[in-house]
């Protein structure tokens, strides 16, 4: 058995893990994966949303794969991946709780010798005699991240990654399995921020060092996706930018220096078995900004999906050998027009697979269509009122009544609630992903989000979902996925009524049938020309 570990570092890392969870829900992940986050800003809005997605995924999967009551069949790809978190918890904050809020307090600057204090002040801006200025690197609060200062983050993470730290010890213990089983660790972080830029190389190097010290020279593979600058945001408002704040204008310059560091590092020592570097042709402009905390809620963006696809591919196939060619993906478009990113521009999990279940487009399209059909058509009927109204219909009888489902029971209603919550998370993620990723120089056209989202935004600028579903959404459902018509709502209803039942048990029978029949129609077979 292969033990897979996905670690999101910083805000971009958390958002990439969020994208990976949706890939896993669609059936594109490994059998099992342990998910964790590293972020000094534990209250970061992006981190909170990714954590909520993970928890919702686990809840929905637990209800649909409970072998005692309700279980999807082994063939079903819905929530196929078993997601867990380390025993130490899902989030490791390198900044310890307590009174040591700043760098100078964390390293006890006031107790240093004169020479050590001089060196410390040379490395980190002190901002005054005591170094206590909150606008300095030494004095700024670390509880809302490293504010675009990777040097600060690197020092903190390196100092806190020791065996007495429960989160770090849990990761080291996982590596020990490499003595008898395969272990794959995938890191995701940005190169241009604070926590990601600091933690990505430091964590990888410390893991390699731990492997050397343990005498493990095989069985453990370490890979990562490093996000180059792909978005920018307005400078924080003056009243919000207390002390040091990350500035988007510095992203490119910081990345130049970081890339030079990575070039020298990777030439001199073996750190990553595979390293994916993900950029974007034009910085995506975000509408709002925040220095940290719960207000830092950014929309999902397509480069994070590429990072998640890299992780899914690594978990499935392992590291590419040095002899294996590395494929480059480009957006295909007309030189005279603004290029438009479509499904063909998303790299495959396994380019050599002919299994349609491994198709990124087919898998994500089926999950999206399932979420839309479930939330808007079937979920409103999965209650006692719905049973009285349509309970005598054949699909209701064969998928629910004959499966022994107690419609008003607590267990079934909990399954309905968790599946609904996940479906809404997925649809909000998808709508914002496509809308926010479009720029003047690159369009995005994967699906028609108007089928399930009305374009209204909340206080954070995020697209929300309507309470009801209008006739436009119903009429366009079959054409929701671009470049490939899917079965209509009528065809899905007919399949639920007449198609062969799966091997699933209990309430899972209904969910599996709906999921399976929300797939895209296969493309028409190409007619072969007769040989002369």
240-285 pLDDT per residue, tens: 444 444 455 566 776 776 777 777 777 788 889 998 988 888 889 8
Q: Which of 307, 326, 345 is the last residue of a domain?
A: 326
Q: Which domain holds residue 134?
A: 106-140
Does 217 share its domain with 165? yes
Does 120 share its domain with 179? no
Does 373 share its domain with 239? no
Does 477 share its domain with 420? yes
pLDDT tier for residue 238 given thresholds of 50, 70 and 90: very low
Does 300 share its domain with 368? no
Contacts of 129 (CB under 8 A, 6+ apart): none
Indicate the DSSP class of residue 245. -
In a domain, 263, yes or no: yes
In a domain, 285, yes or no: yes
In a domain, 59, yes or no: no
How many angstroms separate the CA atoms of 1 and 82, rounded?
Answer: 13
Does 239 share its domain with 294? yes
Determine the 3-state secondary structure of 32 from DSSP.
strand
How many angstroms separate the CA atoms of 374 and 511, rounded?
Answer: 9
Tell me what the mean pLDDT of segment 110-120 comes to: 76
In a domain, 116, yes or no: yes
Does 290 share its domain with 377? no
Q: Which CATH number is 84's domain given?
A: 3.40.50.1440
Top-confidence residue, 446 or 206: 446
What integer pLDDT is reported at residue 78 of this predicted model?
97
Contacts of 415 (CB under 8 A, 6+ apart): 60, 63, 64, 70, 507, 511
Residue 428 has pLDDT above 90, yes or no: yes
Does 319 share its domain with 370? no
In a domain, 70, yes or no: no
How many angstroms separate the CA atoms of 19 and 298, rounded?
Answer: 13
Does 88 share its domain with 135? no
Does 84 share its domain with 130? no
Does 317 share its domain with 227? yes
Does 391 share its domain with 489? yes
50-65 pLDDT per residue, tens: 999 999 999 999 999 9
Report the predicted TM-score, pTM, of the whole model to 2 decimal places.
Answer: 0.87
DSSP 474-513: HHHGGG-BTTS-B--HHHHHHHHHHSPP-S-BTTHHHHHH
| Structural domain count, the chain | 3
The token pair that represents 512 in the structure block: 């599996």
Residue 441 has pLDDT above 90, yes or no: no
In a domain, 72, yes or no: no
Contacts of 414 (CB under 8 A, 6+ apart): 63
The token pair that represents 54 in the structure block: 């993970």
In a domain, 21, yes or no: yes
In a domain, 7, yes or no: yes
134: left (phi over 0), alpha (psi -120 to 50) or beta: alpha
């Amino acid at each position: 058995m292969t033990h897979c570990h996905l670690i999101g570092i910083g805000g971009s890392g958390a958002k990439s893990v969020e994208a990976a969870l949706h890939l896993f829900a669609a059936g594109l992940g490994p059998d099992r994966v342990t998910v964790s986050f590293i972020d000094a800003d534990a209250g970061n809005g992006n981190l909170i949303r990714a954590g909520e997605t993970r928890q919702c995924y686990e809840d929905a999967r637990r209800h649909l794969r409970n072998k005692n009551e309700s279980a999807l069949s082994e063939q079903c790809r819905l929530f196929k991946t078993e997601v867990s978190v380390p025993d130490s918890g899902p989030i490791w904050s390198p900044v310890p709780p307590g009174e040591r809020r700043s760098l100078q307090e964390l390293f006890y600057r006031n107790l240093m010798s004169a020479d050590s204090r001089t060196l410390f002040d040379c490395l980190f801006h002190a901002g005054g005699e005591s170094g206590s200025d909150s606008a300095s690197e030494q004095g700024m609060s670390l509880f809302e991240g490293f504010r675009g200062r990777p040097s600060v983050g690197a020092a903190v993470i390196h100092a806190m990654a020791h065996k007495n730290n429960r989160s770090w010890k849990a990761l080291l213990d996982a590596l020990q399995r490499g003595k008898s089983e395969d272990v794959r660790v995938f890191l995701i972080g940005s190169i241009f921020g604070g926590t990601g830029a600091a933690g990505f190389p430091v964590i990888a190097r410390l893991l390699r060092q731990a492997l050397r010290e343990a005498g493990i020279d095989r069985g453990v593979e370490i890979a990562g996706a490093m996000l180059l600058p792909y978005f920018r945001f307005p400078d924080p408002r003056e009243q919000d930018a207390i002390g040091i704040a990350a500035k988007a204008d510095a992203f490119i310059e910081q990345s130049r220096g970081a890339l030079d560091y990575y070039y020298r590092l990777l030439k001199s020592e073996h750190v990553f078995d595979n390293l994916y570097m993900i950029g974007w042709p034009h910085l995506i402009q975000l509408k709002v900004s925040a220095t940290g905390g719960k207000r830092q809620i950014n929309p999902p963006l397509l480069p994070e999906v590429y990072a998640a696809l890299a992780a899914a591919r690594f978990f499935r196939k392992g590291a590419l050998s040095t002899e294996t060619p590395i494929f480059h993906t480009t957006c295909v478009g007309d030189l005279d027009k603004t290029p438009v990113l479509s499904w063909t521009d998303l790299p495959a999990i396994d380019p050599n697979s002919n299994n349609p279940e491994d198709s990124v487009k087919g898998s994500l399209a089926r999950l999206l269509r399932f979420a839309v059909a479930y939330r808007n058509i079937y979920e409103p009927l999965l209650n006692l009122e719905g049973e009285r109204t349509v309970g005598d219909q054949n699909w209701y009888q064969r998928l629910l009544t004959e499966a022994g489902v107690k419609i008003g029971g607590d267990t079934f209603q909990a399954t309905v609630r968790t599946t609904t919550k996940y479906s809404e998370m997925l649809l909000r993620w998808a709508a914002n992903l496509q809308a926010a990723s479009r720029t003047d120089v690159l369009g995005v056209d994967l699906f028609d989000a108007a089928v399930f989202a009305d374009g209204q935004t909340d206080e954070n600028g995020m697209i929300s979902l309507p309470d009801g579903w209008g006739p436009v959404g119903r009429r366009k459902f079959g054409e929701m996925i671009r470049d490939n018509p899917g079965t209509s709502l009528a065809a899905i209803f007919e399949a639920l009524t007449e198609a062969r039942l799966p091997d699933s048990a209990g309430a899972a029978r209904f969910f599996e049938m709906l999921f399976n029949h929300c797939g895209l129609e296969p493309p028409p077979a190409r007619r072969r020309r007769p040989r002369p």
